[in-house]
Structure 1
Amino acid sequence: MSDVLFTSHAKATGGREGHVKSDDGLIDLDLVQPGSKKDQQGSNPEQLFAAGYSACFDGAFNHVARQERKSVETETSVDVSLLKDGDGFKIAAAITVDVKGVSQEEAEDLLEKTHQFCPYSKATRGNIDVDLKVNVVQ
């Protein structure tokens, strides 16, 4: 195993209709199965995964850009979908990066390099479908 840089901790109770909390209390959320309890508000595992993946991918994109000596501004959105898979379920992700400071060709190159570098992308590679898109904005 590689050298551990840090470890995060969270605990869930009650599954998809329960509660999740990080050890430091910064994450302290009720969980609600989408469509099951219309009068309750809460998060769900897909939303939490999308938040983590978008933050990680955005940071990785900026890291790769710096390595390539490119000055960029980015905003990364990740949609995580829960899909029916035979008798079970699976997830898929769609990643969209809006980037300023480079051409479309440079942005596409950075996107592919980021997907190879990002720890979340490495963790999911070959396990879930991931759709990548990059938009150059002014």
Structure 2
Amino acid sequence: MKTLYTATVTTKGARHGHTTSDDGVLDMKLSMPKSLGGEGGKFSNPEQLFAAGYSACFGSALEAVAKDHKVDLGDFSVTAIIDLGKTEEDELQLAATLDCYIPGVDVETGEKLINGAHEICPYSRATRDNIDVTLNLLVDED
């Protein structure tokens, strides 16, 4: 692999700690969500950070595919919903849902773009066959 960019982030104290990138851009306290027995509140957690990265990366992949197909995405958005759960074997497991809103495209075009983005997105490629990923196209009602 030819490296194009390297992100370096250090977290001290795990889910109850603090995470900082080597360039200082990311510098935040983490907390356990209330549903996992934590304090919740105004601090982030690994699942939110993963959702932010996945939705941004998938959006960039969507832009690349749309450009190849000469489709204007308009004011599009990608919402990543990351679930943390347990398998039947009582092991922790992630699942992802990507809600993609592309205004003004027909369903066939939208699905083609989303499926194409899923093929090239580095997050999608990293999670493929490892976690369940559901792709949804959100459309405007007529």
Shorter-normalised TM range? over 0.9
- What SS does the corresponding residue of 1:12 show, helix, strand or coil? strand
Q: Alpha-carbon deviation of 1:122? A: 0.3
Q: Alpha-carbon deviation of 1:102? A: 1.9
Which AA in structure 2 matches 1:110? L
The runs of 4+ residues in structure 1 deviating greater than 6 Å are none
Which AA in structure 1 matches 2:44? S
| 1:115 has 2:114 as partner | no
The match for 2:85 is: 83
Q: Alpha-carbon deviation of 1:137? A: 3.1
- What SS does the corresponding residue of 1:100 show, helix, strand or coil? coil
Q: Alpha-carbon deviation of 1:83? A: 0.5
- What SS does the corresponding residue of 2:93 show, helix, strand or coil? strand
Gaps (5+ residues) in structure 2?
none
Which AA in structure 1 matches 2:98? I
Q: Alpha-carbon deviation of 1:42? A: 1.2
Contact 1:71 1:101 in 2 (8 A): no
1:1-138 equivalences in 2 (<5 Å)? 2-35=1-34, 36-38=37-39, 40-73=41-74, 74-85=76-87, 86-137=89-140
Provide TM-score, normalisation by structure 1.
0.93
Gaps (5+ residues) in structure 1?
none
Tell me how many residue pairs correspond in the alignment. Answer: 137
Which AA in structure 1 matches 2:66? A
Taking the aligned partners of 1:23 and 1:137, their CA distance within structure 2 comes to 42
Contact 2:33 2:40 in 1 (8 A): no
State the Cα deviation string for residues 86-134 of structure 1 (Å, max 9, x = none): 3320100000000024211100111111100111000100000001101
Provide TM-score, normalisation by structure 2.
0.90
Which AA in structure 1 matches 2:106? S
Q: Alpha-carbon deviation of 1:40? A: 5.0
State the Cα deviation string for residues 3-55 of structure 1 (Å, max 9, x = none): 11110110011111111111111111111111134375311100000000000
Q: Identity, % of aligned pairs?
A: 40
RMSD: 1.5
Q: Which has the higher strand share?
A: 1
Mark the CA change 1:111 to 1:87 in structure 2 (over 3 Å): closer, same or farther: same
